[in-house]
Structure 1
Amino acid sequence: MGRTPAVGDIVGDFSLPGGVLLQDRFERSDYALADHRGKPVVLAFYPGDNTPVCTRQLCSYSDGLDGLRTSGATVWGISPQDVDSHERFARDRDLRIPLLADEGRTVARAFGIDAPLIGLRRSVFIVAPDGRLHWKRVGAVGATFPAPEVLSRQLAALG
């Protein structure tokens, strides 16, 4: 397991397959962190599609997307399930944020949040426009998550 980056660290680039629900179609593509330099990115790691806490978390971020986008932020949900699972989850819950598939948990390991049995620890990282880690919350148990309002305040602090 890698070390969880500290606030102020440069976040290493990664690319993952994923997709986003746009109207009634699920648009698949690869998502690379480097392509988003110059604007903030919220990385919401969650253990699994269609589980109770993960569903509440991702629904709250999708519902609060307008507030999060006010700062120009992009919000990604990342879990170990494949893109087909993400498509079903997005369609079932009308999720409007990209869901990325970290099937081998390589990105979770790089962020130091890989966890035996559950796949990964529920964690949220905000990457600043310059690629540095601005804020993080790494869950010990994973039953709670930061509300969209908390993320909006952190994004507003970026200036």
Structure 2
Amino acid sequence: MLLEALINEDAVKEGDIAPDFELQRQDGGLFRLHDLLKEKNVVLYFYPKDSTSGCTKQACEFRNQYEVFKEYGAEVVGVSSDSLQSHKKFERVHHLPFTLLSDKGGQIRSIYGVPRKLGVFPGRVTYIIDKSKRVRAIYNSMSKPLEHISTAIEVLRSINEEQQSPQ
């Protein structure tokens, strides 16, 4: 527990610049966060495991709302420590239109300070990051996977209203 407390002190917080990283996508190509942020807002969500009940519900709801995310100029990116093969299958079976990244060893999860449930299970945390690389909101809930999507949409709506209002 002490180690988890130390990690969480360094966790990414709202208002921080999102740490850049590079990971492999499910198609084998490389993904770099700051490259995508040059063009779009990003909904970066960390989830425990492909093909589990809560993670499948969450991914499918991101899929079902994907057009809304696109309308708000955002891209959805999922991260877990599952293998590329697992991600490919998860994407194919559930027709996921967004990027899944393989964070083997949990290095990026650690950089962001995503907590573990009961100190063992990888946590479920969503970061909404605007094009200026600023973390605008963080939603952390293992037990409410669908609320990650509605929270992200609300934050993106707010970001769009800010960007469209006269200065």
TM range (shorter): 0.7 to 0.9
Contact 2:42 2:129 in 1 (8 A): yes
Aligned to 1:151: 152
Q: Which blocks of at least 5 consecutive residues in structure 2 are unaligned?
A: 1-6, 161-167
Question: Whole-Å Cα distance in 2 between the matches of residues 9 and 144 of structure 1?
Answer: 25
Relative to structure 1, the CA distance from residue 138 to residue 147 in structure 2 (aligned partners, 3 Å threshold; closer, same or farther) is closer
What code does the residue aligned with 1:149 have? Answer: S
SS in structure 1 of the partner of residue 18 of structure 2 = coil
1:122 aligns with: 124
**Which one-letter code corresponds to 1:155 in the other structure?**
L
User: SS of 1:17's equivalent?
Assistant: strand
* 2:9 maps to 1:8: no
Larger radius of gyration: 2
Tell me the distance in 2 between the aligned counterparts of 1:28 and 1:86: 10
Contact 2:139–2:148 under 8 Å retained in 1: no
Query: How big is the alpha-carbon RMSD for the aligned residues of Structure 1 and Structure 2?
Result: 1.4
In the other structure, the counterpart of 2:90 is 89
SS of residue paired to 2:137: strand
The structure richer in strand per residue is 1
CA–CA distance in structure 2, aligned partners of residues 48 and 148 of structure 1? 17
Partner Cα distance (1:150, 1:37) in 2: 20
Amino acid at match of 1:17: Q
Where in structure 2 are the equivalents of 1:130-149 lying within 5 Å? 130-139=132-141, 142-145=142-145, 146-149=147-150
Given residue 42 of structure 1, which amino acid in structure 2 is its aligned partner? V
Output the amino acid matched with 1:6: K
SS of residue matched to 2:104: coil
Q: When the two structures are superposed, what TM-score results if normalisation uses the length of structure 2?
A: 0.83
Number of residue pairs aligned between Structure 1 and Structure 2: 149
CA distance in 2, matches of 1:15, 1:149: 27
Q: Is the 8 A contact 1:78 1:100 kept in 2?
A: yes
The separation in 2 between residues aligned to 1:32 and 1:77, in whole angstroms, is 13
Q: Which amino acid aligns with 1:144?
A: K
Unaligned runs of 5+ residues in structure 1 are 20-26
Residue identity in the other structure for 2:135: L
Q: Which has the higher helix share?
A: 2
Question: 1:105, 1:114 within 8 Å by CA — same for their partners in 2?
Answer: no
CA distance in 1, matches of 2:148, 2:110: 24
